[in-house]
Structure 1
Amino acid sequence: MKKPQTFTIGLISDTHGLLRDEAMTLLAGSHRIIHAGDIGDAAILERLSRIAPVDAIRGNNDIAPWAAQLHETLTLQVAGIKVHVVHSLADMALDPGSQGIRAVVAGHSHRPSMETRDGVIYINPGSAGPRRFKLPLTVAKMHIAGEDIETVILPIEIAPR
């Protein structure tokens, strides 16, 4: 039997106006990119779109006029699975399992995390923008092959100057 083709989604959040070249390198090869809010500058979405089509939501700091066109949440059908995107999990107003959602992507906390609850993968790609406290700089990737979903958090390594 033929193995299903893998579809890769690049996950990024909390850029706050800073999109590092190192983050772009890690997201290269993605078929689609999801930005989970606190973008900070419309130019970031344009740069990300050079890699792959971008779906983005508005974060609590995205208050400039350009961000008004963005939704606060999105539910997407990607490679045969439903993915829900919300900036902060505290603002999630639905039960993902009852909606057939297989993955929830959220940002806001700047803390990268992955967990599965009741068959739903929750992933926070962390922050790719300015360093906050001593939290790591990260992005993530979600690999979908048929019904299988694999997620990985990728550290952004900044070369010393």
Structure 2
Amino acid sequence: MKIAIISDTHINKQIEGFKEMIEFHFLEFDMIIHAGDYHHEGALRLLQATGKFIGVWGNADSEEVKKKLNEKEIIEIADLRIGVFHGHGTKKTTIERAFDTFQEDTVDIIVFGHSHQPLVQTKKGVLMLNPGSFTNKRRERWFSYIVLEIKEGEVVVEMKFRH
């Protein structure tokens, strides 16, 4: 299984450009995970239209988006449990908030966003994945996303960067 992981797209008026990005970069994947902050409901609709989308809402999402998604998700793929949460909150760091959100759950991987800073690391045996932002890099030099491949008991994580 090949999964594209994105977050923090913050789409406002660039819906057509976002549609082209999805078609160019992500249609080859078996699944697209978005860790919140779509901003515009149209961005969510475009991802849902692919038929292979899992996502959660983020703190910058509209009420319309929040009504259609959960704040937290856990999905199972090939005996792995993947938690998805945006990472928003007020105390601790983003990675600590994401990790703490799943303390009562058994997860192997946590996907989160919010900081717009790409990250791949482990925390107490859990693989922590933050794809950064594919469309809104803020202070980062590059736009980014993650490719997660799960095959025959192997997990391969590749951070992708673009200008």
Normalised to the residue count of structure 2, the TM-score between the two structures is 0.80
Q: Aligned with 2:45: secondary structure?
A: helix
8 Å contact from structure 1 (residues 104, 122) kept in 2: yes
Residue number in structure 2 paired with 1:46: 45
Q: Which consecutive unaligned segments of at least 5 residues does structure 1 have?
A: 1-6
Rounded Cα–Cα distance in structure 1 between residues aligned with 2:44 and 2:127: 25
Alignment of 1:39-78 (within 5 A): 39-78=38-77
Let me know the Cα RMSD of the aligned residues.
2.1
Q: How does 1:1-161 map to 2 (within 5 A)?
A: 7-17=1-11, 19=18, 21-22=20-21, 24-88=23-87, 89=95, 90-91=97-98, 92-95=100-103, 99-157=105-163
1:74-106, Cα deviation, whole Å (9 max, x unpaired): 1111233100001113254232xx743111000
Q: Name the CA distance, whole Å, in 2 between partners of 1:68 and 1:49.
A: 14
SS of alignment partner, residue 114 of structure 2: coil
> Structure 1 residues 65, 30: CA separation in 2 closer, same or farther (over 3 Å shift)?
same
- What letter matches 2:69 in structure 1? L
Helix, strand or coil for the counterpart of 1:101? coil
In 2: Cα distance, 1:9 partner to 1:118 partner: 23
1:138–1:32 CA distance, 2 compared to 1 (3 A): same
Deviation per CA, 1:38-68, whole angstroms, max 9, x where unpaired? 0112222332345451111010001332332
Return the structure number with greater helix share.
2
Count of residue correspondences: 149
Give the residue type in structure 1 aligned to 2:108: R
Q: Is the contact between residue 27 and residue 141 of structure 1 (CA under 8 Å) also seen in structure 2?
A: no
CA distance in 2, matches of 1:24, 1:101: 30
Does the CA-based 8 Å contact 2:118-2:130 persist in structure 1? yes
Query: What is the alpha-carbon distance in structure 1 between the residues aligned to residue 78 and residue 142 of structure 2?
Result: 29
- Alpha-carbon separation, structure 2, partners of 1:43 and 1:114: 29
- 1:60 is paired with a residue of what secondary structure? coil
Overall identity of the aligned pairs, in % = 25
Q: Which has the higher contact order (CA 8 A, sep 6+)?
A: 1
Give the match for residue 4 of structure 1.
none
